[in-house]
Amino acid sequence: MTFKTLNTTSHEDKPKKGASEPIAAIAPAPPALQPKAAVLLPRQPLPTPVLQPERSALKLGLDVHLEFIMAVAQRDHASAQAPRKFTPEQLVVQVRKWVSQGLAVYCVGESCGFGFVLHRQLVAAGAQSFLITPMALNGKRKTDKLDARALCVRLSRWLDGNRDELSPIRIPTLAEQHRREGTRRRQFLAREIRCLANRGHGQVAEYCHLKLAHRWWGARNWKKLAGLDPWVLGVLEKLRDLIVALEGQRQQLEVELVARVKDQPRPKGLGDLTLVTLDGEVCDWGRFYNRKQIGSYTGCCPGEHSSGGKRLVGSIDRMGNGRVRALLVEAVWRFLLWQPNWKAAQRMKVKLADGSSMRKKTVIALARQLAVDLWRWRTGRCTLTDLGWVAA
């Protein structure tokens, strides 16, 4: 059984009903007035299996842990076999052996904090590997064996054509992971600096009943602490050494990150660090087919509970990338100040003026729209002027 080719035409690219094509053919615009076609990035379809009917299929459901992997195998459409426990090295060797025997091996596992190392090893061994977002597989009953079996059964149905059984995620390249790690390491360093600084505030409050300055480890504020208790000052000095070392790493990292987008145009209100962080988290703006996909990726879509003739729309579902969502909300507040002609904000200016509660809800809606506008801009679908933005 083969899968149908995905229709990669977005709603924006489809011609509207009733479009007057004969008129355009009779009276074409002069060459000087014809707009230049935007150079769009190639679209990236989500992972799909390559079925091989001439070969016997072996389907593997993998419940991955750091020390071991619980695997359940199914040969073609036979019953699923008993669960087996492998180490990562043993599983790769076994998959390579199955491939050498002429089997078409398909693997599925849940994406987790172990990265994509095992996925790449299985692909190198000759298998077709897919990763999905973590999900509740067996209701209130959860064991490694049950999860592996449920993944194997879902994989079998998905290969038979039931697209609702699995939703594979896009696997970033190693270079994209490295770019994303740079921005995440900067956030990690900022958290560590904040933690050490708060530790210093707590030590002085506990032993001296005093309040420290905001950046107490700075050269100017540090001189003012010479009169503290020698023991407390010794503790603060060790904390200060750690903070200064971490700040040096963060500043060096920020220079490297800003260099990625230094010569690129950007809208006013969107800083270099915000732009490079968004690019790093998204990995590739061309991965989204239409505005609905990028809107869902932000997690700013409203939840809904509807039945019959009743429709209840609640708070946002928060099912997307939390780092991207936080950056977008912060950027919206800046855009409301520095981009007064932003077309999306102009359409919601009545709600923005309707009290603080409605204003906050509108900002969340604008965060979703900002993600769509950034996607259009970064993929060449429109310019800053088309969106009502002023360049920085």
Return averaged pLDDT per consecutive 10 residues of the chain, 392 residues in all.
41 42 40 44 73 94 96 95 96 97 96 92 96 89 94 96 92 94 96 97 95 95 94 96 97 96 92 96 92 93 88 88 95 96 94 92 95 96 95 90
Q: Tell me the C-alpha distance between 220 and 326, whole Å.
A: 33
pLDDT for position 39: 52
Which candidate, 251, 252, 223, places its Cα nearest to that of 237?
223
Q: How many CB atoms lie within 10 A of CB 255?
A: 10
Burial of 380 (0-12, 13-18, 19+ CB in 10 A): middle
Q: Is the dihedral of CA 336, 340, 343, 349 positive or negative?
A: positive
Q: Structure tokens of 170? A: 């896009």
CA-closest candidate to residue 123, choices 114, 112, 135, 131 = 131
Helix (H) or strand (E) holding 61, with range, is strand 57-64
**Cα–Cα distance list, 91 to 64, 122, 127, 300 (Å):** 11, 8, 11, 39
Contact 369, 329 (CB under 8 A): no
Q: Beta 104-110 vs 128-132: how paired, if at all?
A: parallel
CA angle 11, 16, 18 (to 5 degrees): 165
Q: What ranges make up the beta strands (E) of 190-282?
A: none
Nearest to 333 by CA among 355, 357, 362: 362
Instruction: Map tokens 């060459």 to a residue.
Output: 31
Exposure letters 348-361 (e unless 16+ CB within 10 A, then b):
beeeeeeeeeeeeb
Nearest to 190 by CA among 281, 254, 271: 254
CB-CB contact of 147 with 60 (8 Å)? no
Residue 7, token pair as written in the block:
């229709």
Res 20: pLDDT = 39
What type of residue sits at position 73?
A
Closest to 280 measured CA to CA, from 188, 372, 177: 177
Q: What is the largest CA-CA distance in the chain?
A: 90
pLDDT of the residue at 40: 53
Cα angle value 132/138/144 (rounded, 5°): 75
| CA pair distance 288, 378, nearest whole angstrom | 12
Token duo for residue 129:
């590997």
Phi, psi torsion values for 379, nearest 5 degrees:
-95, 5
Q: What is the pTM of this model?
A: 0.82
Beta strand segments in 94-201, E: 104-110, 128-132
DSSP 287: G
